[in-house]
Amino acid sequence: MFSRITSSLALAAKKSPKLKISSIQQTLYFSSESPAIVSRAQQEWVYRMDVNGQESTTPIPAYRVMDEQGCVIDPSQEPKIEVEKLLKMYKSMVLLNTMDKILYESQRQGRISFYMTSFGEEATHLGSAAALNNDDLVYAQYRECGVLVWRGFGLDNLMNQCYGNKLDLGKGKQMPCHFGSKDINFVTISSPLTTQLPQAVGSAYAYKRAKSNKCVICYFGDGAASEGDAHAAFNFSATLECPIIFFCRNNGYAISTPTKEQYRGDGIAGRGAAYGIKAVRVDGNDILAVYNATAAAREYCLGQNKPVIIEAMTYRAGHHSTSDDSTAYRNIEEVKLWQQEDNPITRTFKYLANKKIWDESAQVDFEKEVKSQVLESFARAEKVKKPVWSEMFTEVYHDMPKHLRNQMKSLRGHLDRNPQQYPLENFT
Amino acid sequence: MLCTRSVPRFLGQLRYLLKNSARAEVRYASHYKYYEDKSKPSNGETARINMYNAITEAMDYTLQKDPSAILFGEDVAFGGVFRCSVGLQKKYGPDRVFNTPLCEQGIAGFAIGAAVAGATAIAEIQFADYIFPAFDQIVNEAAKYRYRSGGQFDCGKLTIRTPCSAVGHGALYHSQSPEAYFAHTPGLKVVIPRGALKAKGLLLSCINDKDPCIFLEPKILYRGAVEEVPIEPYEIPLGQAEVVIPGNQVTLIGWGTQVHVLCEVAEMAQEKHNISCEVIDLCTILPWDEDTVYKSASKTGRVIVAHEAPLTGGFGAEIAASIQENCFLSLEAPVRRVTGFDTPFPHIFEPFYIPDKWRCLDAVVDIVRY
């Protein structure tokens, strides 16, 4: 029965040609959304029971522009990105990578409390961020630091947040890596997974109504996609017709849980059709493929006021966080393979080198420069005092209610009587 | 012991029921008698309307004056299962008043996002009993949005409306009063009106407030609460309780439907026992009006808090503990709580479950004799 439905869907898909995005010349197609079966009247019937239909579907292929050697496979697919922008994308990846190494080490030395690296996923950040307008709203999970780098958040802001010093825009209230900035349209990160997905849909709906010509991009991991909020968001975005890009970083693991324990369908892109959402799967270590897919998705979602799912296939080359030792659940050889054979930064380097706009000596100079920038910024942030303790009571509400004022007052009295018991000297 | 003690009380109640047979009938239809709100929040013209009409008027006004305002939830497009949004989709269009898929966590998350992007978002959860799937979005997200971003982002333009409390036959999942769960969450405002006049003014305040608000609407009052309500829009300040009936021997604190129960208790206490009760409608659960409560408690020295929600961890506990801390020297008796029992809200046993006027009156008599 199901196989007949599948084939009738395939037939219907053939009748309505797949969506083609004008900015990309040929092969990048979004999967066809299923023709909606909204009532019994539109239902076709079959007369043989068959439960195998689901398994016969072919997995959605991953879109790729260049190979591991940085060679473009189909020249028509090479995006026309000006050299300056290309170099900025690459340099941002290197900067992110350098910062990750230094902050990871600083956590190991106990200088910051927590950190999460982006090793192996740099291309998903920079490829997508570069394809958006800077006033498109970003909702992120926590491993999308490259988007901040791209938008000019600046090393100091990143360091200040990790230190929770008084220059931190978040005033030291959240754990490290929970970045946010109104100025660059990057909604403050929170720890509960996937909560940002339905929120991003709501923001996209508001943008649509305001005729802002802005879209929303919402990043999340393959593990987060199992939360109920992901289901809610996909379904709301489709029925309420919202200009949103759901960007899934499928890096193979949610902490220790491999994807085969996370889902049994065709990844995250495979869910698109069930919600009536167009989806595309890309090679997440290919910055050009990610760029093309995001640019096409942006054009589509703003043009049609409809959602898109991008599933970027990548690999989490670092530990989940500084609180995790990933050798406890995966093979070091596997990690090395990805770090060395299919590394997004190396691949982009080769592409740029092939084009003769970057080389080894430029690389060495840049790495040196970036390393000293990171270290300087790090040292600056470390010296800045924490915010005044009373900041703890602010911004719970727009105006501080009386009961909170009283609680603040009582703490003040306590601190006056017991100053030696608290780290007041570190705070302003 | 229990039997011999309760016999005279039972006979007393039976005599009262027989003497007041008209009220006894009311007792079986619903557990309260409606006390009209005589306050005058504005000097303008008034019209006699019920609570769902008052809520519709508040939303109608918001949609009319604020082009960013949207109203959504399950089944709100055709007017809502309690008729609160009747006519609004026709008047303002399907992009402003619309149905969502059936998913509470989605409704709350979507509402937060719309508010973050600058829209005034009025979300409806069909019954307060079904707000729990949205608990994570409300508690971890909405309530903490401003704080965690250092004030860079907020969802202050969000209001979640939801019908709550007993309705006579709602059983476990159409009767709950979940205010205490939310009262434990810094960053939220939690508001409950006791009738049409309060509903309109408090809802407009919630919508215009700069913090996310949960507006709990006692569903039994939708049609039952009929009174003179100003035609023009008006706001009633949040965080402010109202002394509904002044008195000087016992302070009775409640909110929502329970305020009407307490008004009747105050009348009965005066008539039958010559006890003067002061009735306070808390109106806002979080942040609650400590000043009005402490002032009354200090004057009477005796306080009873009554709510439909279960006793343990109910908001009555917060009020009782705070009164004891702040009015200790004025108290003549321990603060009493008359509440629902620590059971799920039952179907056929509802008359025995709710903190009705008889249980409250018992407590009044007890606390005066203490």
- What is the reported pLDDT for A347? 97
- What is the reported pLDDT for A14? 37
In a domain, B353, yes or no: yes
pLDDT, one tens digit per residue, over B146-185 is 999 999 999 999 999 999 999 999 999 999 999 999 999 9
Q: For position B69, which CATH number holds?
A: 3.40.50.970
B199 and B278 in one domain?
no
Judged by CB atoms closer than 8 Å, whether chains meet at A402 and B287 is answered as yes
Alpha-carbon distance values, B95 to A204, A210, B111, B228 (Å): 13, 11, 14, 33
Q: Give the number of beta-carbon pairs within 8 Å between A and B.
A: 166
- Segment B103-131 shows an average pLDDT of 98
Q: Is A258 on the interface with B (CB under 8 A)?
A: no
B284 and B357 in one domain?
yes
B362 and B258 in one domain?
yes
What ipTM score was computed for the predicted complex, to two decimals? 0.92
Residue where a domain terminates, one of B230, B259, B292: B230
In a domain, B31, yes or no: no
- What is the reported pLDDT for A30? 74
Q: Does residue B358 contact residue B264 with C-beta atoms inside 8 Å?
A: no
Q: Which of B116, B157, B159, B326 to mutate to test the interface with A (most CBs of A within 10 A)?
A: B116
Q: How confident is the model at residue B20 (pLDDT cuts 50, 70, 90)?
A: very low
Q: Quick check: is A376 catalytic?
A: no
Q: Does residue A164 contact residue A386 with C-beta atoms inside 8 Å?
A: yes
Contact list in A for residue B151 (CB cut-off 8 A) is 171, 394-395
Query: Taking chain A, what is the end-to-end CA distance rounded to the nearest angstrom?
Result: 70
Nearest chain A residue to B96, by CA: A209
- Segment A205-211 shows an average pLDDT of 98
pLDDT, one tens digit per residue, over A261-289 is 999 999 999 999 999 999 999 999 999 99
Sequence-distant (≥ 6) Cβ neighbours of residue B325 within 8 angstroms: none
Angle at which helix A122-131 crosses helix A83-108, to 10 degrees, equals 140
Q: Is B95 on the interface with A (CB under 8 A)?
A: yes
Judged by CB atoms closer than 8 Å, whether chains meet at B146 and A395 is answered as yes
Rounded to whole angstroms, the Cα distance separating A209 from A129 reads: 24
- What is the reported pLDDT for B23? 46
Q: Is B66 on the interface with A (CB under 8 A)?
A: no
CA distance A188 to chain B (A): 6
Active-site residue identified among A237, A320, A326, A377: A320
Prediction pTM value: 0.92
Contact list in B for residue A181 (CB cut-off 8 A) is 152
Residue where a domain terminates, one of B230, B257, B279: B230
- What is the reported pLDDT for A50? 81
B260 and B297 in one domain?
yes
Judged by CB atoms closer than 8 Å, whether chains meet at B114 and A202 is answered as yes
Nearest chain A residue to B158, by CA: A202
Q: For position B348, which CATH number holds?
A: 3.40.50.920
- Segment B186-190 shows an average pLDDT of 98
Rounded to whole angstroms, the Cα distance separating B307 from B311 reads: 8
Residue B57 pLDDT more than 50?
A: yes
In A152-191, the residues whose Cβ lies within 8 Å of chain B are 168-171, 173-174, 178, 180-182, 187-188, 190
B244 and B151 in one domain?
no
Q: Does residue B304 contact residue B370 with C-beta atoms inside 8 Å?
A: no
Domain boundaries, position B114: 46-230
- Amino acid identity of A276? G
Catalytic positions of B are 104, 174
Query: What mean pLDDT value characterizes chain B?
Result: 93
Nearest to A254 by CA among A205, A309, A316, A174: A316
Alpha-carbon distance values, A14 to A6, A7, A10, A274 (Å): 12, 10, 6, 18
- What is the reported pLDDT for A79? 98
B185 and B90 in one domain?
yes
Total domains in the fold of chain B = 2
Alpha-carbon distance values, B309 to B161, B214, B312, B317 (Å): 18, 16, 9, 11
Rounded to a whole number of angstroms, the CA Rg of chain B reads 21
Contact list in A for residue B121 (CB cut-off 8 A) is 202
Pairing status of strand A244-250 against strand A308-313: parallel
- What is the reported pLDDT for B9? 45
B54 and B169 in one domain?
yes
Nearest to A143 by CA among A402, A318, A362, A265: A318
- What is the reported pLDDT for A29? 64
Residue where a domain terminates, one of B173, B199, B230: B230
Please state the φ and ψ torsions of residue A71, each to the nearest 5 degrees: -95, 130
B220 and B269 in one domain?
no
CA distance A168 to chain B (A): 9
CA distance B173 to chain A (A): 21
Nearest chain A residue to B123, by CA: A202
B89 and B189 in one domain?
yes
In B28-47, the residues whose Cβ lies within 8 Å of chain A are none
Residue A27 pLDDT more than 90?
A: no
B321 and B296 in one domain?
yes
Largest Cα–Cα distance in chain B?
66
Q: Quick check: is A321 catalytic?
A: yes
Contact list in A for residue B156 (CB cut-off 8 A) is 398
In a domain, B28, yes or no: no
- What is the reported pLDDT for B215? 98
> Residue A150: is it exposed, middle or buried by C-beta count within 10 angstroms (0-12/13-18/19+)?
buried
Judged by CB atoms closer than 8 Å, whether chains meet at B105 and A181 is answered as no
Q: Which of A171, A205, A390 to mutate to test the interface with B (most CBs of B within 10 A)?
A: A205
- What is the reported pLDDT for A33? 61
DSSP B186: T
- Segment B320-337 shows an average pLDDT of 98
Strands (E), B118-260: 121-124, 158-164, 189-191, 213-218, 227-230, 242-245, 250-254
pLDDT, one tens digit per residue, over A306-342 is 999 999 999 999 999 999 999 999 999 989 988 888 9
pLDDT, one tens digit per residue, over B213-246 is 999 999 999 999 999 999 999 999 999 999 999 9
In a domain, B65, yes or no: yes
B346 and B221 in one domain?
no
Q: Is B287 on the interface with A (CB under 8 A)?
A: yes
B50 and B195 in one domain?
yes
In a domain, B82, yes or no: yes
- What is the reported pLDDT for A56? 55
Judged by CB atoms closer than 8 Å, whether chains meet at A395 and B150 is answered as yes
A43 vs B343: which has the higher pLDDT: B343
In B237-256, the residues whose Cβ lies within 8 Å of chain A are 239
Continuous H helices in chain B = 2-19, 21-29, 51-65, 88-92, 104-116, 135-136, 145-148, 179-183, 196-208, 221-224, 258-273, 290-300, 315-326, 350-353, 357-369
Judged by CB atoms closer than 8 Å, whether chains meet at B146 and A398 is answered as yes
Sheet containing strand B158-164, edge to edge, reads B97-99, B70-73, B121-124, B158-164, B213-218, B189-191, B284-286
Alpha-carbon distance values, B121 to A186, A206, A370, A418, B101 (Å): 21, 9, 44, 46, 16
Residue A1 pLDDT more than 80?
A: no
Please state the φ and ψ torsions of residue B254, each to the nearest 5 degrees: -155, -175
Active-site residue identified among A7, A23, A56, A105: A105
Pairing status of strand B70-73 against strand B97-99: parallel
In a domain, B33, yes or no: no
Three-class DSSP labels, chain A:
CHHHHHHHHHHHHHHCCCCECCCCCCCCECCCCCCCCCCHHHCCCCCCCCCCHHHHCCCCCEECCECCCCCECCHHHCCCCCHHHHHHHHHHHHHHHHHHHHHHHHHHCCCCCCCCCCCCCHHHHHHHHHHCCCCCEEECCCCCHHHHHHCCCCHHHHHHHHHCCCCCCCCCCCCCCCCCECCCCEECCCCCCCCHHHHHHHHHHHHHHCCCCCCEEEEEECCHHHCHHHHHHHHHHHHCCCCEEEEEEECCEECCEEHHHCCCCCCCHHHHHHHCCEEEEEECCCHHHHHHHHHHHHHHHHHHCCCEEEEEECCCCCCCCCCCCHHHCCCHHHHHHHHHHCCHHHHHHHHHHHCCCCCHHHHHHHHHHHHHHHHHHHHHHHHCCECCHHHHHCCCCCCCCHHHHHHHHHHHHHHHHCHHHCCHHHEC
Contact list in B for residue A229 (CB cut-off 8 A) is 105-106, 109, 136-137
Q: Is A260 on the interface with B (CB under 8 A)?
A: no
CA distance B5 to chain A (A): 44
Sheet containing strand B242-245, edge to edge, reads B242-245, B277-281, B250-254, B303-310, B336-340
B296 vs A17: which has the higher pLDDT: B296
Q: How confident is the model at residue A58 (pLDDT cuts 50, 70, 90)?
A: confident
In a domain, B12, yes or no: no
Domains and CATH numbers, chain A: 75-383 (3.40.50.970), 389-426 (no CATH)
CA distance B343 to chain A (A): 29
Selecting from B70, B116, B186 the residue whose C-beta is nearest the C-beta of A203 gives B116
